[in-house]
Amino acid sequence: MTRTGDTDLTAQSTSEARAEAAATAGVQGLLFDDDLRPMPEDVGFRGPTACHAAGITYRQLDYWARTGLVSPSVRPATGSGTQRLYGFRDVLLLKVIKRLLDAGISLQQIRTAIAHLSKRGIDDLTQITLMSDGASVYMCTSPDEVIDLLAGGQGVFGIALGGVWREVEGSLSELPTERADGHEDGDQHASDELAARRRARMTG
């Protein structure tokens, strides 16, 4: 378990506290689910689409791109008239930032947390739960770490990235996509793929 920007944290708790914390984590959906797959890396979403899926304003999106918090990974703006394209991972991080801001976490703490997340592979993100006590952000990479943190009283709230992944996937499944080379022949395929995943999850 890592407090972003700080040293490892080990929480001590009684078996009763751990049992209660485990039940709480389960109910709140803070534990892990690995039944998630990334989209192709050359498929992206224009700024307004990313804003809609993440629940942020275009002004926030632009500011975070200019300050390097979340930059469009599929296609950056390279001149007048160039459309930035945000990948699925980018939109996921934007949604996480919005959640942390809504919880009252400072932008400085958020920048540190996002920097840690950005260093990880896309597959690793589904195995992370962010916890916070309102001041610091902790990055848990196992169910035991989530439970220890809750039992120790440091976790006021948590964000399971697997859950955020599902939300973003559901939002983007109905929205237009574009490939990095500007071709539109793959747009419908990418949207259909997301929609198919969502339907399979709902019926399975």
- The string of pLDDT tens digits covering residues 12-21 is 445 655 566 5
pLDDT at 42: 76
Six token digits for residue 167: 């939300």
Predicted TM-score of the model (pTM): 0.72
Q: pLDDT band at 203, cuts 50/70/90?
A: low
Residues in the chain: 204
> Alpha-carbon dihedral of residues 169, 57, 125, 155, nearest 10 degrees?
-120
The whole-chain average pLDDT of the chain stands at: 76
Report the amino acid identity of residue 19: A
Q: What is the mean pLDDT of residues 109-126?
A: 82
Amino acid 142: pLDDT:
84
- pLDDT-based confidence at residue 99 (cuts at 50, 70, 90): very high
Instruction: Return the C-alpha torsion angle 141, 142, 145, 146, nearest 10.
Output: 90
Decide if pLDDT at 105 tops 80. Answer: yes
Long-range contacts of 60-69 (CB under 8 A, 24+ apart): 61/94, 64/94, 64/97, 69/97, 69/110, 69/111, 69/114
Residue 11: the pLDDT is 40
User: Taking residues 123-143, what's their average pLDDT?
Assistant: 81
| CA–CA dist 73, 99 (Å, integer) | 21
Which residue ranges form the domains of the chain, and what is each CATH number?
41-179 (1.10.1660.10)
pLDDT band at residue 110 using 50, 70 and 90 as cut-offs: very high
Where would I find the beta strands (DSSP E) of 69-192?
85-86, 129-132, 137-140, 157-160, 178-179
Enumerate the β-bridge partners of residue 46. 85
